[in-house]
Structure 1
Amino acid sequence: MGLWNRNGRSGRKNKVLKSQPSWRGVNQVRRLRILMTVVAVVILISLTAGLLLVWYQLHPSLEKELFAASSAAEYSEPVQSATASNAPELLLLVTSERGLMPNAVPDLTEVDGVSVDKRLAAAFQPMKDAAASDGVTLKITKGYVAPEQQEELYKKKVQELVASGYTQVRAEDSAQTLVERGNYSEYQTGLAVDFDFTGGEQSKWLLVHGPQYGFILRYPDNKSSVTQKNGEPQHFRYVGQENAQRMRQMGFCLEEYVSYLAKQSKK
C-alpha cells in the first residue's frame, strides 16, 4: 500500500513535470509568430515607402501637377501686352516693418479720379472692358497715398485709440496693425488699389480673371498668419501677368512668392 502511494504520487509528479515544457513551448511558438508578423509588417511598410520615394523622384513634375489640380479657379491664357510684368519693382514688398525709401514717388497717372502707377493703369483698362462685357462694373476707389497723408491717417488712429482708453504706447502699436505709418504703406507704391464692391460679382470676377491681367488679392483671409493682416477682399495689388498667374498656380500670397523667388535665386 505504502509502495503504491509512493508510486502513485511519483507518477502524478512525473506527469506534471513532463507537461510543463510543452506549455512553455506553445507560448514560445506564439511569441515567435507574433514577432515574425510584426517584423514582416515593418519590412513591408519600409519597402512600400522606399518604392514610393523612388517613383516620386522619377516624376519631378508631380508636385506641379498637384498644385495645378488643387487650384479651384479657372483662368485663361495670359493677355499679351506691353506691360513689363517681370519688372522687379512690381514685387516690392511693403509692410509695417519694411518701409520705402524716403521721397520714393512712382510714375503716376489717374484712373477713375484716383492716382495709380502707369503700368497698373495700362493693365486695368482692358480688364475693366472685359469685366464690362461680362456685365460687371469695376471701379477703383483708392490708390496712391502720399507719405505725409498716410502719416496723418496713422496719427489720427492713434488719437482715436488713446481717447478710447489705450495708453500712448499701446495705441501706437495697435494703430500700426490698422493704419500703416508714412513710408510703410503699400498704397504709396501706386501699385495697390481698392475696388468698389457694391455686390459680390466684382469680387468673384476679379478673383477668377484678375491674375490674367496682373492683379492679385493682396490680403486673403487664409494668409493672415503670413501677411499679418486681416483679409481685405477689396484690396488688390498689381504684380504683372506672369507673376500673378504663377502666384495663383502655386497658392502663394506676395510674401510667400517673394520668399520663394529669393530662395530660387540662391540655388
Structure 2
Amino acid sequence: MKKWFLALALLLLTSCEQGREIVIRETNDHAGNIPVKVTEEQVYQGDLLLVNKEYSLHKVGIQPDIVNLYGYKELTQGYALLDHTIRLSQRVAREFSVMIGAAEGDGVRHFMISSGYRSLDEQDRLYQEKGADYALPSGHSEHNLGLSLDIGSTEMEMNRAAEGKWLEKNAWKYGFILRYPKDKTDITGIQYEPWHFRYVGLPHSLIMKDKNFTLEEYLDYLKTKRTISIETGGKSYEISYVPIAKDTVIYILEGRRYSLSGDNIGGVIVTTSR
C-alpha cells in the first residue's frame, strides 16, 4: 500500500501552540515531508464547497477571478452567450472552452451559456422577484460561487438536445458534473435541471460519475472513508478528508503535487498526485 495512503489512514494528532497539528506520516520525524498550514478560513474556499439550502456561501468562497465573458473573446470560441452580462470564473471558463472544443470534435456545436456568476445582491433580487419555488436565497445558490453555469442549446431544450446528452455523458472528463440529476432530487433538494453544471475538477468528477454521486453524497463518502486512492490518465491520486476546527498544520510527502478545497461545512479535502 502506498506510503502516503497508509499515513493518511493513520492520522496522528498532536498539539501545537497555534492550533492542531495533523501529521501525515508513518515515523516520528518529518524528514521528507512538507509542512502546509491550513487555516480555518480555507474550510470555506475551493472547488468542492457545498452550497445549498442548508449551507450558505461565505464571501471568501467566491472565486477571485470572476470576469465578464463578453470581454474575453478567446474564452468564448465555439459557443454563444445569452447576453453581454454573463460572468464566470476565468479559470472555469478556460476548462469549459476545452470541453466545448472536444464536443465540436464529436459534431456537437450549438452550446450557449445562459447564466453564470451572480452577485449576492443579484441573487437576492432574483429571489424576491421569483420566490422560493424558482430561486434560492442569496448565498445559497451555486451561481454565487462562480463555479456553476447554466448551459443551453441554441437548437432546442437541453433535455432533448444533443448538447445536453453529450454533456451528461462526457462533462465529467473535463471536471464538470451535472449538479441536479433527475434521480437525486431527494438528496439535492432541487428539481432536475439538465442545464445546470458545476465545476469540481478532476479526479473528483471522475469518482462522482463512476459512483453516481451528487456533491452531497461525494462529500459524505469522503468523510466516511477519510482517504481514498485512484489512478487515471497516467496519474495516481490520493484524496483525504481532514476535519478542521482551527488553524492546522498537515505534512505532505515531498515530491507530491497537492491541492486543498474546503467543503463549507467543517473540513478540507486534500488531493495529492504524482
Alignment CA distance shift 1:218-1:250 (3 Å): same
Q: Deviation at 1:155?
A: 1.2
Partner of 2:174: 213
Identify unmatched segments of 5+ residues in structure 1: 1-87, 159-174
Q: Which deviations, in whole Å up to 9, do the C-alpha atoms of 1:160-197 show, x marking residues without a partner?
A: xxxxxxxxxxxxxxx1x531111111101011100113
Give 1:218-233 correspondences, 5 Å limit. Answer: 218-233=179-194
Distance 1:151 1:253 in 2: 26
Q: Does 1:180 align with 2:136?
A: yes
Secondary structure of 2:87's aligned partner: strand
Alignment CA distance shift 1:136-1:147 (3 Å): same
Partner of 1:250: 211
User: Which structure has greater strand proportion?
Assistant: 2
Q: Is the 8 A contact 1:109 1:121 kept in 2?
A: no
Q: Does 1:203 align with 2:164?
A: yes
Secondary structure of 1:193's aligned partner: strand
- Kindly provide the amino acid, as one letter, of the partner of residue 140 in structure 2: Y
Q: Which deviations, in whole Å up to 9, do the C-alpha atoms of 1:37-58 show, x marking residues without a partner?
A: xxxxxxxxxxxxxxxxxxxxxx
Distance 2:59 2:91 in 1: 22
Identical positions, percent: 36
Identify unmatched segments of 5+ residues in structure 2: 1-44, 70-80, 227-240, 243-274
Aligned length: 163
Q: Deviation at 1:241?
A: 2.3
Secondary structure of 2:194's aligned partner: coil
Partner of 2:54: 97
User: Which structure has greater helix proportion?
Assistant: 1
Give 1:1-267 correspondences, 5 Å limit. Answer: 89-102=46-59, 104-106=61-63, 107-111=65-69, 112=81, 113=84, 114-137=86-109, 138-158=111-131, 175=132, 177-197=133-153, 198-199=155-156, 200-265=161-226
Which structure has the larger Rg over C-alpha atoms? Answer: 1
Distance 2:225 2:88 in 1: 31
TM-score normalised over the length of structure 1: 0.57
RMSD: 1.9
Q: Is the 8 A contact 2:117 2:146 kept in 1?
A: yes
**Higher relative contact order at CA 8 Å, sep ≥6: structure 1 or structure 2?**
2
TM-score normalised over the length of structure 2: 0.56
